[in-house]
Amino acid sequence: MHLFYTPDITGDQYDLNTEESKHCIRVLRLQQNDIIQLIDGKGGLYDAKIVQADPKKTSLTIVNCVREYGKRNHYLHIAIAPTKNMERLEWFVEKATEIGIDEITPLICDRSERKEVKFERLNKIITSAVKQSIKAYHPQLNEQVRFKDFIKNSPGQRYIAHCMDGNKLQFSTDLIKHDRYTVLIGPEGDFTPQELESALSNGYQSLTLGTSRLRTETAALEACFELNFLNR
């Protein structure tokens, strides 16, 4: 069934915007009385009937609603240093959304080669992935923030994945299930020793993602997979 993202839905009637109406009628060739699905990004999954098939404003009537559709038993926030090649960050954002993630923050570190990200483009990629994977919850994408500011206000279990020597926790043995998690993933050159020390002093714990040296986006996706798998 065809799925549309409608974050502003409030009642039993809804009009698709011009872009979605055009896609619905001219591309998908849907007609009056056809049933489509809507998601509001806050857990609502709706069945809706087309009552006016207009490519400029398609009108719908809600016929069924499921609340908290696919609600997860944990909350995952990954703060990732933007990659020099934006396509790699976009790939992570897309795949993490498909696997399951709740919040993403671009993290500007001392060794970051990219200091800015295209917020609107990343958010569109998230929306597309939400629709593709039939997620009723839309992950929150935050504006970029500096490392030193971010680590001061992180709830739940806090981890920093890095390549430096020292004792590190493992998700498989040290995880407390069904909780809130914040995981920091550094830039291509890793966090600096000063950043690691600062994170540890703010309640973060060192984390290992295995013995392989992973790219930034791969490490972030590995953390995403591990936490979802262990909370399944």
The overall pTM is greater than 0.85: yes
Which residues form the domain of 24? Answer: 3-66
CATH code for position 33:
2.40.240.20
What is the DSSP code (8-state) at residue 144?
A: P
Query: What proportion of the chain, given as a percentage, has pLDDT over 90?
Result: 91
Q: Which residues contact 87 (CB under 8 A, 6 or more apart)?
A: none
Least reliable range by pLDDT among 14-23, 28-37, 172-181, 211-220: 172-181
Two structure tokens written together for 136:
């009723």
CATH code for position 223:
3.40.1280.10
Find the mean pLDDT for residues 171-186: 91
Q: What is the pLDDT of residue 1?
A: 82
Same domain membership, residue 176 and residue 101: yes
Q: What is the pLDDT of residue 175?
A: 84
Q: What is the pLDDT of residues 119-153, one digit of tens each?
A: 999 999 999 999 999 999 999 999 999 999 999 88
User: E strands of the chain, at which residues?
Assistant: 3-5, 13-15, 35-39, 45-52, 59-66, 75-80, 103-108, 140-141, 145-146, 157-161, 180-185, 205-207
State how far the Cα of 170 lies from the Cα of 28, in Å rounded to an integer. 47
Q: What is the pLDDT of residues 69-124, one digit of tens each?
A: 999 999 999 999 999 999 999 999 999 999 999 999 999 999 999 989 999 999 99
Q: Could you tell me the pLDDT band of residue 176, with boundaries at 50, 70 and 90?
A: confident
Q: What is the pLDDT of residue 102?
A: 98
CB-based contact 185:223 (threshold 8 Å): yes
Same domain membership, residue 46 and residue 98: no
State how far the Cα of 141 lies from the Cα of 41, in Å rounded to an integer. 12
Last residue in a domain, options 47, 66, 85? 66
Two structure tokens written together for 171:
């998700």
CB-based contact 55:26 (threshold 8 Å): yes
User: What is the three-class DSSP state of 83?
Assistant: coil
User: Total structural domains in the chain?
Assistant: 2
Per-chain mean pLDDT for the chain: 95
Other CB atoms within 10 Å distance of the CB of residue 73: 9
Same domain membership, residue 117 and residue 61: no
Q: What is the pLDDT of residue 211?
A: 87
Same domain membership, residue 80 and residue 59: no
Find the mean pLDDT for residues 42-64: 97
